[in-house]
Amino acid sequence: MSGGISDLVMEITPSVLLKAYSCGIFPMAESADDTGLYWVEPEIRGILPLDRFHVPRSLAKVVRQNRFDIRVDTAFAATVSACAEPTSGRQDTWINHRIFELYVALHRAGHAHSVEVWQNGQLVGGLYGVRIGGAFFGESMFSRRPNASKVALVHLVDRLRAGGFVLLDTQFSNAHLVQFGVEEISKDDYSKHLAQAIELEADFTAIDA
């Protein structure tokens, strides 16, 4: 994969993982069945500018209709597991067992969060990511109902804005994120944004959910 640095040879702990994020690096696996991990540092980084986040008109209507119940950090492990499930557009995943265990450990330590979308008592969509200072690193999202993951993203952005965050890292750009105004920046520019963001104090709990 482009941007991959090398197979990890050290034991990864939550503290090592946080240090990697603070340097602009994150781990991935080749597949769910692969036991190895490797570091990734993209030459071109995807970010969603919080002050220019675009909500398409049709999605804004869905949000206003309150079709879903939004919860935060009530089912983190289930959210990660759902993100790892194959879909019609993605038969394989980069989330293996080591990834799962690492991020659950980060969540228990208060450094990783899930935004969950529920309907009729069922988890139907959501996303998860890592928080350091005023930076949030989006990892993955899933949807079992139309627009569920998009509603989760809208809530996440509202929460980050309210809490004083300044950086929402999407790692890469893709067709799904274009509708929200994703931007691509160089590794050097990203490093400058990151260095400033992680030094800030931000509050992920500024909005009750």
Confidence at residue 31, expressed as pLDDT on a 0 to 100 scale: 80
> Which residues lie below 8 Å from residue 195, measured CB to CB, with a gap of 6+?
none
* DSSP-assigned beta bridge partners for residue 67: none
Q: What domains does the chain contain, in order, with CATH numbers?
A: 44-197 (3.40.630.70)
Confidence at residue 89, expressed as pLDDT on a 0 to 100 scale: 60
User: Cα torsion for 97, 99, 100, 106, to the nearest 10°?
Assistant: 150
In angstroms, rounded to a whole number, what is the distance separating the alpha carbons of residues 198 and 192? 10
Confidence at residue 2, expressed as pLDDT on a 0 to 100 scale: 41
Task: Supply the pTM of this predicted model.
Answer: 0.92
Could you list the mean pLDDT of each consecutive 10-residue stretch along the chain, which spans 209 residues?
A: 46 90 92 83 96 96 96 98 79 82 96 98 98 97 96 98 98 93 97 97 87
Confidence at residue 10, expressed as pLDDT on a 0 to 100 scale: 54
Confidence at residue 208, expressed as pLDDT on a 0 to 100 scale: 75
Distances in whole angstroms, Cα of residue 188 to Cα of each of 26, 41, 44, 46, 185: 16, 11, 9, 13, 8
Q: Which long-range contacts (CB under 8 A, 24 or more apart) does 107-110 make?
A: 107/73, 107/76, 107/77, 109/14
Confidence at residue 91, expressed as pLDDT on a 0 to 100 scale: 56
Confidence at residue 6, expressed as pLDDT on a 0 to 100 scale: 46
Sheet with 135-143, strands from edge to edge, namely 69-72, 112-119, 122-132, 135-143, 167-171, 44-47, 183-186
Confidence at residue 9, expressed as pLDDT on a 0 to 100 scale: 44
Largest CA distance in the chain: 49
